[in-house]
Amino acid sequence: MWKVSRKSLSLLSLFLIWILTSGFEDLDVETSAGIGAVMENVTSDDIEAVQLEEEWEDKVLARVDEYVTVRSEPNADSKALGRMFKGDGGDIIEQVDGWTKIHSGNVEGYVDNEYLVFGTEAYELAQEEVTLVATSLTGGLRIRSEASTEAKILKNVEQGAKLDVVEDTETEGTEWIQVQYAEEKTGYVSAEFVNIQLELGEAMTMEEIEKKEAEEKREKLKQQLASFQANGNEVTLLAALIQAEGGNQPYDGQVAIGAVVMNRVKSGGYPNSIAEVIYAPGQFGVVSNGSIARYLGGPKASCVQAAQEAINGYTTVGSYKHFRRAGADVGPNSIVIGNHVFY
């Protein structure tokens, strides 16, 4: 049986559309009549379907709950180059042995076909998972309180600004798009002055992922710091640090950890609050790796007591401002308590 490829059918359909719009003057009567009969059944939906198929023919979308790894070769043992996350799309470069080589963002590599959808199926999934975005085509685009040119102007945005689409609507024959322009704030823009499209995500390299995770960790630490400073609950914060660093250590060792923090606060060479000393970059491993967070909700009683005593001025290590895991080499100007050496 003679088969026609999907692309050939799309091109044939577009050719027929071109014939329809160009007229039949240069065709013989019989051919014109035949084409005319076919085109009578072509609807605007058919045209849109052809155009959509052409647009998405060489595109993929990640079909994942979290992410899929992009690899250097078409096998699961090759080097990880990056990741495609939920909602990320890409362009097809080639397909081989159940794998597809894609280009997305700054990543170019192979993805297992099990975690991809292709063509119009990718488009259908994108409608469920990907944000619809309105991009301003003009400077000073007006966002209004209602779908009307008479409504109050809430904000003007510059050309190229991207706004998440909330809902399409239509008022008195004029198309309007409801958009979100700030957190929990919405308004309406005229569809005439925006371009509406699905905003596919892009894959990230492993380096980009590491950088993003580090930034997110720093931001989380900043938020925690701001929260404790606002609430003034520094006893709990110090107790959480003591438990994370020495919850299994003797009580004197727990007090010593709290005293190290308080000695820094009083020294003038460090920040002058408990929270800022604890969250200073690179000072405490349990803060850098985030493990302190598991104790912030309720450190154990001995650590709370040790924190309170340290804040009140009690110390078991004098004015020492540092500690580390005890090893074979312990200097003369140091104190060993449990598994820690203070200096």
The predicted-structure confidence for 58-93, as pLDDT tens digits, reads as follows: 999 999 999 999 999 999 999 999 999 999 999 999
Instruction: Give the model's confidence band at 45: pLDDT under 50 very low, under 70 low, under 90 confident, else very high.
Output: low
What is the spatial distance between Cα 278 and Cα 295, in angstroms, rounded to a whole number? 14
- Quick one: pLDDT at residue 325? 87
- Quick one: pLDDT at residue 136? 95
Instruction: Give the model's confidence band at 281: pLDDT under 50 very low, under 70 low, under 90 confident, else very high.
Output: confident
Q: Indicate if the alpha-carbon torsion angle 182, 188, 191, 197 is positive or negative.
A: positive
Mean pLDDT of the 159-175 span: 74
pLDDT tens digits along 122-163: 999 998 888 889 999 999 999 999 999 999 999 999 999 999
What is the spatial distance between Cα 260 and Cα 283, in angstroms, rounded to a whole number? 12
What is the spatial distance between Cα 33 and Cα 158, in angstroms, rounded to a whole number? 51
- Quick one: pLDDT at residue 1? 35
pLDDT surpassing 70 at residue 118 = yes
- The ranges assigned to domains in the chain are 6-56, 59-129, 132-198, 233-342
Do 59-129 and 132-198 have matching folds? yes
What is the spatial distance between Cα 18 and Cα 15, in angstroms, rounded to a whole number? 5
Instruction: Give the model's confidence band at 172: pLDDT under 50 very low, under 70 low, under 90 confident, else very high.
Output: very low
Question: Architecture of domain 233-342 in CATH?
Answer: Orthogonal Bundle (1.10)
Tell which residue, 198, 224, 193, has the closest CA to residue 287.
Answer: 224
pLDDT surpassing 90 at residue 216 = no
- Of 2.30.30.40, 2.40.50.140, 3.40.50.300, 3.40.50.20, the CATH number of 59-129 is 2.30.30.40
Tell me, which fold does domain 132-198 have in CATH?
SH3 type barrels. (2.30.30)
pLDDT surpassing 50 at residue 2 = no
Whole-model pTM: value is 0.58
Beta-bridge partner residues of 155: 143
Least confidently predicted of 37-41, 312-316, 338-342:
37-41
Contact of 89 with 200, CB cutoff 8 Å: yes
- Quick one: pLDDT at residue 171? 46
